[in-house]
Amino acid sequence: MPLHPALKDVRLGIPGEVQKSNASLAVALVQEHLKAVGIKGPEITETTLAPEIIKALEEAYWPGRCETRKENGLTWYCDGAHTAESIAAATQWYSSLYFFS
């Protein structure tokens, strides 16, 4: 799925580079669904997204998906990846948190 250009500078609520692709797919699906059921939705063009869509993507939260938890002085990095593709995406997210030399 090509990345929607308007997502380039958006800080998604769910971290991880793969989430930009997921967000682009979600935007395209919402747009097509609303069109199919005859509902006029927020403005989505090839280069822009309505502010309410950006806000929703920034505030998205999915427990257990690229989640960082801090409890009792410990930091936990949680992801419920269960397929080869999602394990690779979770590994990329975790690796992006630290620089290993």
pLDDT in tens, 53-101: 999 999 999 999 999 999 999 999 999 999 999 999 999 999 988 866 5
Domain that holds residue 10: 5-97
Domains of the chain: total: 1
What is the model's pLDDT at position 97?
A: 86
Whether pTM exceeds 0.75: yes
List b or e across 57-83, with b for residues whose CB sees 16 or more CB atoms inside 10 angstroms: beeeeeeebbbeeeeeeeeeeebebee
What is the model's pLDDT at position 99?
A: 65
Best CA proximity match to 67, nearest among 92, 86, 93 = 93
- AA letter at 75: T
Computed from CA positions of residues 60, 62, 63, 67, in that sequence, does the dihedral angle turn out positive or negative? negative
pLDDT in tens, 38-52: 999 898 988 999 999
Cα–Cα dist 5/54, whole Å: 12
